[in-house]
Amino acid sequence: QVQLVESGGGSVQAGGSLRLSCAASGRTFSSYGMGWFRQGPGKEREFVATISRRAVSTYYADSVKGRFTISRDNAKNAVYLHMNSLKPEDTAVYYCAAGTVAGPRGLEGLNSWGQGTQVTVSS
């Protein structure tokens, strides 16, 4: 139902910061749990972070906990991923997704994926 478009990716040096944005279409954005996932070269897509419909709950993969922050602005139909202290192993295509419920390991009732945005971290 909802269509998602990511932006904000780019190339940064290790230790740098980057903020990714995901713009959603439609008028029901606030009814979705949202999440970020990533897929590095030669790897499977993995969970990064999720956020509940009203942003009461957030969840993070252990690999990014303390460095990444997920947030949302329902008035703007947008979700964000602020990434700090980036490492080369963070290099991946990052995807946002919408689902029914945000949980500690991903999303339930997955509705849609964005096209992805590339993040490259050099050492």
Residues contacting 107, CB < 8 A, separation 6+: 33, 34, 35, 50, 97, 98, 99, 100, 101
Instruction: Tell me the C-alpha distance between 91 and 67, whole Å.
Output: 14
Q: Helices marked H in 1-123 — which ranges?
A: none
For 12-59, write each residue's pLDDT tens digit. 999 999 999 999 997 788 999 999 999 999 999 999 999 999 999 999
Distance CA 20, CA 95 (A): 10
The string of pLDDT tens digits covering residues 79-114 is 999 999 999 999 999 999 999 999 999 999 998 999
User: Is there a contact between 69 and 17 (Cβ–Cβ < 8 Å)?
Assistant: no
